[in-house]
Amino acid sequence: MSLDWSQIDILAPTLIYIEQLYLVRNNCSKISSEYQISKEYFKNLRYLNLEQNGIESWDELTGFGVLRELKFLIVNKNKIQNIHYNKRGFRGLKSLSFEDNLISSWKTFDELNRFDCKIE
């Protein structure tokens, strides 16, 4: 498919009970820079797969940090160059998969230690 986040944003009110969302190989490259992720509409989202969407910056994903139930985030095969801590959270995140991106600095791996995740 060729969905971009504007279409997901329109559908968001109907996704209230969705726990898993797979948006693999779409055009969701601009997310947090153009849209606000709704805690109300995505309150049950536990698993989000955004593989192969051409995401170039971790900043496009920081809006998902407000989702308390989000446990698994997959952003494989994008164009992310670094991951950095943001106060907004990812407090419930248990798994982050970011293989086959453009990570070129060990600093990104150090940043992962700053995330305020609850390990159960």
User: The domain spanning residue 23 has which CATH number?
Assistant: 3.80.10
Q: 74 forms bridges with which residues in the sheet? A: 49, 97
pTM of the model: 0.89
Give, as one character, the DSSP assignment of residue 12: G
Residues 53, 26 contacting (CB under 8 angstroms): yes
Q: 20 forms bridges with which residues in the sheet? A: 47
Tracing tokens 């390990």 back to the chain, one arrives at 119
User: Rounded to 5 degrees, what are φ and ψ at 64?
Assistant: -75, -15
**Model pLDDT, residue 26:** 95
Domain count along the chain: 1
Domain of 47? 1-120
**Model pLDDT, residue 119:** 43
Cite the DSSP H helix spans in the chain.
5-11, 107-112
Tens digit of pLDDT at every position of the chain (120 positions): 688 999 999 999 999 999 999 999 999 999 999 999 999 999 999 999 999 999 999 999 999 999 999 999 999 999 999 988 777 678 888 898 999 999 988 888 888 777 766 544
